[in-house]
Structure formats: C-alpha cells, structure tokens
Amino acid sequence: MSIFYCYIPLDAIAAEKTARDSGRAQSPSLQSWEDELRRLVAETSSFPANESARLDLARRLKALPEYNIEECLLIIGSRFVELYLVAGTPAPSAANGRTATFTDFAKSFSYFITGSNQEAVIQFFRSALGWMPNGEHDPAHVEAFRRAYTLASEHKLAGLALSRLFQRALWLYEKVRLETDFFRHPNTADEVLLEVAGKIFGEFKERAVLFVGSNGELSHLVKIFQQAGIGHLYFALTGPEKPEAASSGQIINSWREVSQLPAIDLLLLFDQAGRNIITRAYLQKLMAARHHAPLLLADLTAAEAKKESPEEIAKMYNLFYFRQRDLEGLVEQNAPVRRQAEAEVTGWIRDEAREFYHWLNSADRFHFGSMVGRSPQMQQVFELIARIAQTGITVIIEGESGTGKELVARAIHQASSRARRPFVAVNCGALPENLLESELFGHVRGAFTGAVSNNPGLFEQANGGTIFLDEIGEMSPALQVKLLRFLQDGEIKRVGSNAVLKLDVRVLAATNRHLQTLVHDGKFRSDLYYRLNVIGIKLPPLRQRPEDIEILAAHFARKFAGRMRKTIAALLPEVLLRLRQYAWPGNVRELENVMERAVALTGNTTLEVADLPAHLREAASSTGSAARLPLREIERQYILDIVNACNDNYDEAAKVLGIGRTTLWRKLKNYAAGNGDFNS
C-alpha cells in the first residue's frame, strides 16, 4: 500500500497554462482532472454549493485505472488545495507491461508539489493542525480539512488507512491544543493584525472594516475577517479595477461617502493612493464623529510614509496605528516560543507517522485500543473517541450487554493525558446500595458494623485518573445525589464523616438501559442524566455490523490459539457463513466465548462447523435455505476470506488459494467493480 499527496497554493492557479505550454504530454483522464480542479478552486461559491462537483472530481480521480487508487481525500482550503491518495499495488499495463507509479502521476502536473509515503503521512498530520507546507498556520484549513474528510467518509472515498490517520490526527490536535502554545502565537502579520483587533474590540460581530485600495493581500485579509465574524465590510477602491474580493461587501463610490462612515472601526490601507487620502485631517474628523471611540489603522503598503509622520498619527487619542513592519516585528517577537512549540509538535508528528506504519504493516489494522472493527459504525466510534479522549469531559456509553462498553472506556482513558494514572472500573448493579456507597466513597472507622478502620473508596483510588461506572442505571436515588454532587463540585464525603475531600477524577459511565426512559419514569434523576450525557457514545450491536464478525472471529481465534499453544491457520468458509447467519444476542462477548470453545475443541489447524456450539449450528441451519448463495458468490466470499486471513498479502493469499497472483488480482478487481469494495 502506498500513500501519496500533492498540494497547490491557490495563487498558482493563475499559471494554469504552464503544464500545457511546457509541451508535457498528459493522459486524457489527468488532463480532464486538472481542468476540473482549476474550475473548482476558481469558484467563489460556498462549500455546499459545489459539494457534488468535488465529489464527482474525487470519484473520477479514484477511478483512474493505471494507479489502483483505493482511497481519496480532496481538500480545497482557503489558500491551498491538497490531495491525498492511498493505493494498492497497481497491475502492470497491458500495453507495455510496466507498472504505473505516483512519480508518473506527479510528472503530469508541473506546478504540483508532491510527496509520498512517510512524507505524505507527516503532511497529513500537519494539515490537520492547519500547519501548511510553507510554514504558515491557517486555522481555516483545519475546518476545510475536517469537512473534506467527513464528505469523503460519507461517500466511501475514505477507507481504513485514511480513517486511521484521521482518528490519530484528531487526537494529536487535542494534545497539541492542550499541552503546547502552538495555536496561541500568530506566525504571520495577518494573524497578528487579527489578534490586535481582537484585543481592542473583543467581538467582531458589530464591527466594521474599511479596505482602502487594493493589492495581492486584499483577498486573503477579507477571508480572514469574514472567518472571524466581522459584521460589515466596506471597500474604497483607488483604481479602475474591481477586485473579486470586493463583491463580498459594500463598495464606496466616492470619498464623500467615506467621510459619512463614522461606524468604521478598522481602516486598512493597501496602496499609496489610499494613504494620500487617509490623512491626519481626515482621521481627526473621523475620530470626532466617532466621539473618539477606538479606531485601528493598519498601513499595509510597502513604501514608507512621506506625506504624514507616523509619530504624529500615532499620538492621536484612541487611534491604534500599525505599519506592516510593526506587525512583522510582533511576529518576530513570538518566534522563539513558536519555534519551540513547532519543534515539539514535529517530534510528535514523526512519532505518529512511525506508529501509523507499524499499524499498517501489522495484523492489527482493524484495532483501536483493545477494540476491533472495520464497519462504518465502529469507525465513527473510534473517531469520536479520538476527538474527546483528551478533553476530560464526562461520557455516557450506551449499548447492549456484550458490545464492549468497558473497552470503549479503557480506550478513552488510554488515549487521554490520564493514561498513566489509575483506571478504576465498578459495576453499579453488582452490589447492594449500602455496600456500593462504601465501595465508591469509602468509610471511616465506626461508620457501620464491621468498619474497623478507615477505608478509601474507589473515587479516592482513581484520583488523577478515571473511574468507569458500569450499569449506572442501577444506581439508587440516594447514590445518584452523591454522584451529582461530585460531578458538580468534585467533592465527596466518606460514609460516617463530614470531612470534604476534593478529588480530580474523570467519570465515564455506561448502561445497557435507555436512560431517557428511566428519567421519564422517575427512576433516574434528570439533572444527573444531563450532567453525565455531555458526550454520548452508542455502540451498535454485533448484528448491525456483520462486516466485523469475520475479523472479530479471526482475532479471537488467534488470541485463544496463542493462549492454548495451538496453530489455527484459517476458518473454513462454511464456518464464516454460519457466523454471519447467526443473530448474536450476546454480541461480541458471545462471539468471543464461541471462538474460545471452538479453538479448545478443534484438533485441526482449521476451524470447522463441527467445532461450533450446537445452538449456533441449528440457528444458522434454520435460515440456511433462505441464505443459500450462488456458486460465484461462495467463491467470492472464500477468496475474500483468505485475503483477509492473509492480512491483504496477495502473494501469500494466491499460494493458499492455489492460483496465480495475476488471476487473484483480476478477480479482486472484478469484485471491486461489482460492489465498490473488494474488502467488504
């Protein structure tokens, strides 16, 4: 599997004829794709308006036959276009017997900047942080990045590799945000200007900015202030041309109109003509009309002022005056702290890239923590865990018994900054009320019969870490009150004591009951429910994610074979068919027990139907007549089962199947053409 990326600064679109003028030959499909990309990035419409066009473009790119592209992510940000491609091993060309490479792809685009594999993965993590290839930080790109991935995921353009990268990127973003100053210091003059304006005016919603003149930075600054939520945009153009950015606000046609705009809070000068008009006399009149309310004036022209002394303007009361070099000086002041943060983040990114390739080449590619799943439902759960793990907020996990609620809680804990602190799990339904209270909150000597010494509770044991309250719906009303107090104030009292203990514990809770129904029936406190349900994770039952049954079965077979010192090479297709047909009322826990029994009983290196429990064989047989498959489908499932058992090693799978690698490749391509995913 190979990963490739390319990006284009949007200002390079102006050189759209470069590739053609160079005389470099392009395939018709690549030529069409490049033309479509130029058209899309040149549009000024909002993202939803051209969403279908972006999807169509990404689909056509993914379908390029010579590269065997399996996953595609197209990001059109505010200043850069990025493209990430994941490809399997391409088949040799029928014409010349040569295998196409991403190097061939990159040569087709003269102004694309490209990279592959480790470099591509590193850039993926940088992009998720808004850290662009030119070193700038672009917060708007973070939004574009997440929006593009959501779109690709919803439309099956992002698969396992991009999903894993995105999950880790979300986790890394939170780590960087919480543990460094990476996002706190602006690294461009534009960002400094926005930060200064924020300190002067606070909220931008009721503020207005007047852009005087025009240069190459106008469009970018307009976007920055729009994203910051500025209330009103005005444009006073000094030349005959009308920049496209000016269409986003009101154009002032005469300077008389400018003098009648006392509501202007920010004045941005872009050329010498504007500077000649915005004089000290004009500013004095404007400030008087504004009753000397604060005004920010930024001179973004390159040349030094000659007509007015900057010091004279800067001395005006409540007028904040900045030149381009002043803003750049503030950027330089932040440089040491910024470089230190960037160096630390770079190290984390390289660690993540190494971990990704370790994961990619391992047999555990469908693992997230201790969980296993390739289905869209579980990938969404993994993504949500990555988003919230480091936030410290309370989470409620809902799902039927056996779906893995405690595994989710452990994954959240392990991915958080509390990972090295205790993780304490308690089943609230396993103990009577009086024992549960003492178990959770502890007791002092003499609190009740048998309390011969002080005993810290589980909350104290979990201090600094995480406590997992399973089956919280079974908790009594009295204990619910105590838990609510802890969630509100972080305080507990031991049983028999009035001393208040202040603790730092993250609470994760789980239930197999519908808490909203319990709230409606008066069996669970509504205030506690809303305190717990800051973030809700719903785990799907196994019957709703049948694509996970096969990889879960293989995982458990390997696990128990290793524990029992047996060798299990594969599960027969008939076994996999029976497992898929069964309803699994006990969910993943039941499947685990079934596979443990099968491994214990088998005397062969393959698991057979006879190794399955009788109730499972009978239940599957009762639906067998309705589930009979044509020979072609049985062959397809068998081939895919072997490929998955070999962890997508096609050479090994071809040997097991007794067919040539080319034959296997052709069949997989046919399956992909039939359902869009030969790994389904």
pLDDT in tens, 219-231: 778 888 887 888 8
**Structure tokens that stand for 504 in this block:** 């730092």
Note the pLDDT of residue 351.
95
CATH, range 2-179: 3.30.460.30
| Spatial distance between the Cα atoms of 83 and 145, rounded to a whole number of angstroms | 11
The answer to whether the predicted template modeling score (pTM) of the entire model surpasses 0.85 is no
CATH architecture of 189-330: 3-Layer(aba) Sandwich (3.40)
Evaluate whether 491 touches 535 at the Cβ level (below 8 Å): no
Evaluate whether 186 touches 333 at the Cβ level (below 8 Å): no
Give the start-to-end residue ranges of the domains of the chain.
Answer: 2-179, 189-330, 367-540, 544-675
Evaluate whether 151 touches 54 at the Cβ level (below 8 Å): yes
| Spatial distance between the Cα atoms of 490 and 496, rounded to a whole number of angstroms | 19
Residue 474's nearest CA partner among 410, 427, 529, 442 is 427
Note the pLDDT of residue 38.
54
The pLDDT tens digits for 348-401 are 999 999 999 888 887 777 888 889 998 889 989 999 999 999 888 999 999 998
Q: Do domains 189-330 and 367-540 have the same CATH topology?
A: yes
Point out the least confidently predicted range of 181-185, 244-248, 664-668. 244-248
**Is the confidence at residue 56, as pLDDT, over 80?**
no
CATH architecture of 544-675: Orthogonal Bundle (1.10)
The pLDDT tens digits for 300-330 are 886 554 445 555 676 778 888 888 888 888 8
**Is the confidence at residue 28, as pLDDT, over 60?**
no
Note the pLDDT of residue 66.
62
Query: How, if at all, do strands 2-9 and 80-87 pair?
Result: antiparallel
Note the pLDDT of residue 591.
93
Evaluate whether 386 touches 168 at the Cβ level (below 8 Å): yes
Average pLDDT over residues 480-504: 90
Beta strands, E only, 178-305: 208-212, 232-236, 250-252, 266-269, 295-299
User: Residue 398, Cβ neighbours under 10 Å: how many?
Assistant: 20
Note the pLDDT of residue 47.
38
| Spatial distance between the Cα atoms of 155 and 164, rounded to a whole number of angstroms | 17
| Spatial distance between the Cα atoms of 679 and 639, rounded to a whole number of angstroms | 10
Hey, which of 333-342, 407-416, 635-644 has the most confident mean pLDDT? 407-416
Average pLDDT over residues 61-71: 73
**Structure tokens that stand for 400 in this block:** 């039927």
Note the pLDDT of residue 560.
92
Note the pLDDT of residue 40.
54
Give the orientation angle of helix 28-42 with respect to helix 51-62, to 10 degrees.
Answer: 160
Residue 388's nearest CA partner among 144, 126, 178, 142 is 178
**Structure tokens that stand for 176 in this block:** 């960087």
Note the pLDDT of residue 27.
43
Confidence of residue 190 (pLDDT cuts 50, 70, 90): confident
Element (H, E) at 409: helix 405-414
Instruction: For residue 243, give every residue at least 6 positions away whose Cβ sits within 8 Å of its Cβ, in sequence order, or none.
Output: 214, 218, 219, 235, 237
Look-up of token digits 């005389």: 23
666 or 202: which carries more pLDDT confidence?
A: 202
Per DSSP, the residues of 38-101 read HHHHH--S-GGGGHHHHHHHHHHHHT-TTTTEEEEEEEE-SSEEEEEEEE-PPPPPTTTSPPP-
* Percent above pLDDT 90 for the chain: 24
Note the pLDDT of residue 10.
67
Note the pLDDT of residue 256.
65
Look-up of token digits 């034959």: 663
Instruction: For residue 624, give every residue at least 6 positions away whose Cβ sits within 8 Å of its Cβ, in sequence order, or none.
Output: 581
Residue 232's nearest CA partner among 257, 204, 191, 202 is 204
Average pLDDT over residues 601-609: 87
Average pLDDT over residues 409-433: 91
| Spatial distance between the Cα atoms of 621 and 634, rounded to a whole number of angstroms | 17
Note the pLDDT of residue 406.
94
598, amino acid identity: A
Evaluate whether 152 touches 383 at the Cβ level (below 8 Å): no
Q: What is the mean pLDDT of the chain?
A: 80
Note the pLDDT of residue 138.
84
Q: Report in angstroms the alpha-carbon separations of 91 from 5, 103, 642.
A: 21, 16, 20
Evaluate whether 280 touches 312 at the Cβ level (below 8 Å): yes
Element (H, E) at 322: strand 319-323
| Spatial distance between the Cα atoms of 224 and 4, rounded to a whole number of angstroms | 30
| Spatial distance between the Cα atoms of 272 and 274, rounded to a whole number of angstroms | 5
Note the pLDDT of residue 89.
63
Q: How many CA atoms lie within 13 A of 109 on its CB side?
A: 25
Evaluate whether 299 touches 324 at the Cβ level (below 8 Å): yes
The pLDDT tens digits for 646-666 are 667 777 777 777 777 778 877
Confidence of residue 128 (pLDDT cuts 50, 70, 90): very high
59, amino acid identity: R
Class of the CATH-defined domain 367-540: alpha beta
Angle at 545 between CA 632 and CA 589, to 5 degrees: 115
SS (H, E, C) 41-59: HHCCCCHHHHHHHHHHHHH
Note the pLDDT of residue 114.
66
Element (H, E) at 642: helix 631-645
Average pLDDT over residues 434-442: 87
| Spatial distance between the Cα atoms of 235 and 248, rounded to a whole number of angstroms | 9
**Structure tokens that stand for 158 in this block:** 């992002």
Note the pLDDT of residue 344.
94
Element (H, E) at 570: strand 570-571
Average pLDDT over residues 622-644: 65
| Spatial distance between the Cα atoms of 391 and 466, rounded to a whole number of angstroms | 13
| Spatial distance between the Cα atoms of 102 and 1, rounded to a whole number of angstroms | 12
Residue 257's nearest CA partner among 231, 281, 237 is 237
User: Residue 606, Cβ neighbours under 10 Å: how many?
Assistant: 14
The pLDDT tens digits for 552-594 are 999 999 999 999 988 888 888 888 888 988 889 899 999 999 9
Q: How many helices (H) and strands (E) does the chain have?
A: 28, 21
**Is the confidence at residue 679, as pLDDT, over 50?**
no
